[in-house]
């Protein structure tokens, strides 16, 4: 059952899906309509779960579920991925590929690159120690407070010279 995102408890489980580009206003409307409909019926073993979503930075979708009374089953998670894959086809974007790194450039604009080859962005100086990168370890809604961390606090730290 859909509830507004701000009403999800801070311990709610979340998934962050990254698009390579910002969504247009029409695309955001399509995403909202599709995900509200999905959330209204999202269930685990026939039991509805309090769920919601939010669009961050105009290009990230955060899907959340309050698992305090029921945990999301594998089948219910699969159904959410199916919905996101349908959005991918409609919008001609990639959301479900987790092999991406998102960071903010010096102008504060979001850039998304494949994880393969990201080392070259570090070595060229495009990503510096203090560059903000999307934290891939966010798992609960409270973690969104730290969704952007400096590159030297992330797994990219291994690419910076000592």
Looking at the structure, tell me whether residues 26 and 79 fall in a common domain. yes
Looking at the structure, tell me whether residues 78 and 142 fall in a common domain. no
Strand partners, 136: none
The mean-pLDDT minimum among 37-41, 45-49, 121-125, 150-154 falls in 45-49
Domain end call among 64, 91, 118 = 91
Question: pLDDT band at residue 101, thresholds of 50, 70 and 90?
Answer: very high
Looking at the structure, tell me whether residues 9 and 82 fall in a common domain. yes
Looking at the structure, tell me whether residues 104 and 87 fall in a common domain. no
Looking at the structure, tell me whether residues 106 and 87 fall in a common domain. no
Domain that holds residue 107: 100-159
Q: In sequence order, which residues have a C-beta less than 8 Å from that of residue 31 and are 6 or more positions away?
A: 23, 55, 61, 87, 91
Domain end call among 31, 62, 91 = 91
* SS3 label, residue 85: helix
Is the four-CA dihedral 112, 113, 114, 118 of positive or negative sign? negative
Domain end call among 68, 91, 114 = 91
User: Which long-range contacts link 84-93 to residues 24+ away (Cβ below 8 Å)?
Assistant: 84/17, 86/34, 87/30, 87/31, 87/34, 90/30, 91/19, 91/23, 91/27, 91/30, 91/31, 93/19, 93/20, 93/21
Looking at the structure, tell me whether residues 85 and 125 fall in a common domain. no
Looking at the structure, tell me whether residues 37 and 114 fall in a common domain. no
Looking at the structure, tell me whether residues 9 and 78 fall in a common domain. yes
What mean pLDDT is predicted for residues 10-26?
A: 94
The answer to whether residues 21 and 59 touch, using CB atoms and an 8 Å cutoff, is yes
Mean pLDDT over each residue of the chain, to the nearest integer: 90
pLDDT score, position 72: 56
Distance CA 145, CA 76 (A): 26
Distance CA 121, CA 106 (A): 14
What mean pLDDT is predicted for residues 120-130?
A: 93
pLDDT score, position 53: 96
Kindly calculate the radius of gyration of the chain based on its CA atoms and give it in whole angstroms. 17
pTM of the entire predicted model: 0.89
Looking at the structure, tell me whether residues 138 and 69 fall in a common domain. no
Distance CA 138, CA 77 (A): 17
Looking at the structure, tell me whether residues 138 and 86 fall in a common domain. no
pLDDT score, position 107: 85
Domain count, the chain: 2
Find tokens 């510096």 and name the residue.
128
Looking at the structure, tell me whether residues 81 and 115 fall in a common domain. no
Distance CA 144, CA 117 (A): 26
Looking at the structure, tell me whether residues 30 and 49 fall in a common domain. yes
**Chain segment 42-88, per-residue pLDDT in tens:** 866 667 788 999 999 999 999 999 977 665 545 556 778 899 999 99
pLDDT score, position 42: 80
């Amino acid at each position: 059952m859909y509830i507004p995102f701000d009403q999800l408890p801070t311990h709610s489980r979340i998934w962050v899906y990254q698009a390579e580009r910002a969504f247009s206003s029409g695309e955001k409307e399509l995403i909202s309509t599709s995900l509200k409909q999905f959330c209204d019926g999202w269930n685990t073993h026939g039991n509805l779960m309090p769920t919601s979503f939010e669009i961050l930075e105009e290009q990230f979708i955060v899907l959340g579920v309050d698992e305090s009374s029921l945990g999301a089953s594998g089948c219910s998670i699969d159904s959410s991925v199916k919905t996101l894959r349908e959005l991918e086809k409609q919008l001609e974007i990639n959301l479900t590929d987790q092999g991406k790194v998102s960071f903010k450039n010096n102008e504060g604009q979001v850039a998304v690159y494949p994880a393969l080859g990201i080392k070259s962005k570090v070595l060229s100086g495009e990503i510096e120690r203090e560059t903000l990168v999307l934290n891939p370890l966010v798992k609960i809604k409270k973690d969104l407070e730290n969704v952007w961390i400096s590159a030297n606090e992330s797994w990219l730290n291994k690419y910076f010279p000592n």
